[in-house]
């Protein structure tokens, strides 16, 4: 049994409101012939505020790709540890209990991955597996959960840690003035999120099945153009229509487990924008309220890329209305066009103890190498 435990999430201290975003767009792009359209699209996102790692005046500067990437690394090392400790505490685990770290980010580049730094500085074992993900964009939140589920299924006593570090503001490109770019300037925010997947014990979402699905011939709908100035976000106008081909994949996943996708108790999906949620409500035949966790993330933080799904899970924990046996869907959407989706049931602590005792945290000396793990 792989259980997705209670996440920890942190957002930076610098805030930009929707009103400030619109005012900036009016002043910076006053002569843009499609400014009214861009303003209307930004207003329609429903984003009230976003958190960013630098003050607005620094965010609007472009000192070059090198300096921006140095900022990414510095801020990641400063902000990730506290969030990781929070996620481990929530799961009743220590660093030494983690067998796999899945690190997801599409807003900065490090090699070796931040996972190497974490292992060297945060008490993780030297044989901890590393799985960095950089190119699945917003879908990586769902993909990270699925790969952690796969790992814990292959090695039932193992534990995985997922870390999402997304500083979308560091990808701002002042020279990109297409409507899609202007929209993204008012949509994306920054966040760090972490969550543990326990192979045994724990309270949370018991993961039971997962699936990947790619919509053919859509790889240029969401993309990065990597140039001398860094990552340039490309967003096709057809992206808002992607739920029509993706919703059937979610239905198929549920049917494969004998579930009806329109009759689940909770829905945790990537909120790329309000139309994504509205269309899913229509195609899955569920009430808009079913997506309240994802919509709250979008409203309060904006689109925080791979961290959206993890933050929506956090909000479900905080609401406290899930009961033993509740069934639900988790899904992340991103470049490809790709959907990474999973099914799970809510497992309470008492119910979990009725089936399996929560193991004591293992010391590094007590860890026995997993059979066949060297083939991963």
Residues catalogued as catalytic: 138
Distance CA 133, CA 140 (A): 7
| 3-class DSSP state of 203 | coil
Locate 124 and state its tokens. Answer: 């993780």
Q: Is the dihedral of CA 262, 265, 270, 275 positive or negative?
A: positive
Helix axes 114-121, 65-91, angle to 10 degrees: 50
Locate 302 and state its tokens. Answer: 């904006």
Identify the burial level of 103 via C-beta atoms within 10 angstroms of its C-beta, where 0-12 means exposed, 13-18 middle and 19 or more buried: buried
DSSP string, 88-133: HHHHT--GGG-SEEEEE-SS---SS-HHHHHHHHS---TT-EEEEE
C-alpha neighbours within 13 Å on the C-beta side of residue 319: 15
Task: Name the H helices within 156-195.
Answer: 179-185
Q: Are strands 190-198 and 327-334 parallel, antiparallel or unpaired?
A: unpaired
CA terminus-to-terminus distance, the chain: 20
DSSP string, 242-293: THHHHHHHHHHHHHHTT--TTS-SEEEE--SSHHHHHHHHHHTT--GGGGHH
């Amino acid at each position: 049994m792989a259980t997705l435990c209670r996440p920890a999430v942190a957002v930076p201290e610098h805030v930009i409101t929707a009103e400030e975003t619109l005012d900036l767009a009016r002043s910076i792009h006053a002569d843009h012939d499609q400014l009214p359209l861009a303003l209307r699209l930004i207003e329609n996102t429903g984003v009230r505020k976003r958190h960013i790692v630098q003050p607005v005046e620094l965010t609007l500067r472009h000192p070059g790709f090198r300096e921006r990437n140095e900022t990414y690394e510095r801020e990641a090392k400063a902000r990730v540890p506290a969030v990781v400790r929070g996620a481990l505490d929530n799961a009743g685990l220590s660093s030494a209990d983690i067998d796999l770290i899945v690190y997801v980010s599409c807003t900065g580049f490090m090699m070796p991955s931040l996972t190497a730094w974490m292992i060297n500085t945060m008490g993780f074992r030297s044989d901890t597996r590393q799985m960095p993900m950089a190119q699945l964009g917003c879908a990586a939140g769902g993909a990270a959960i699925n790969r952690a589920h796969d790992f814990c299924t292959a090695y039932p006593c193992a534990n995985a840690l997922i870390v999402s570090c997304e500083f979308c503001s560091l990808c701002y490109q002042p020279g990109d003035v297409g409507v899609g770019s202007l929209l993204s300037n008012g949509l994306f925010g920054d966040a760090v999120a972490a969550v543990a997947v326990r192979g045994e014990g724990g309270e949370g979402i018991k993961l039971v099945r997962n699936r990947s699905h790619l919509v053919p011939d859509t790889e240029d709908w969401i993309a990065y153009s990597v140039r001398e100035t860094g990552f340039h976000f490309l967003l096709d106008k057809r992206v808002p229509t992607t739920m029509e081909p993706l919703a059937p994949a979610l239905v198929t996943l549920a049917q494969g487990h004998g579930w009806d996708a329109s009759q689940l108790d909770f829905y945790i999906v990537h909120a790329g924008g309000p139309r994504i949620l509205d269309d899913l409500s229509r195609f899955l035949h569920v009430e808009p309220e079913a997506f309240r966790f994802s919509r709250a993330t979008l409203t309060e933080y904006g689109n925080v890329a791979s961290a959206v799904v993890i933050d929506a899970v956090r909000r479900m924990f905080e609401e406290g209305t899930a009961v033993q046996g509740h069934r639900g869907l988790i899904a992340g959407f991103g470049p490809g066009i790709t959907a990474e989706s999973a099914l799970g049931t809510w497992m309470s602590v008492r119910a979990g103890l009725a089936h399996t005792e929560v193991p004591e945290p293992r010391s590094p000396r007590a860890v026995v190498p997993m059979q066949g793990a060297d083939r991963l």
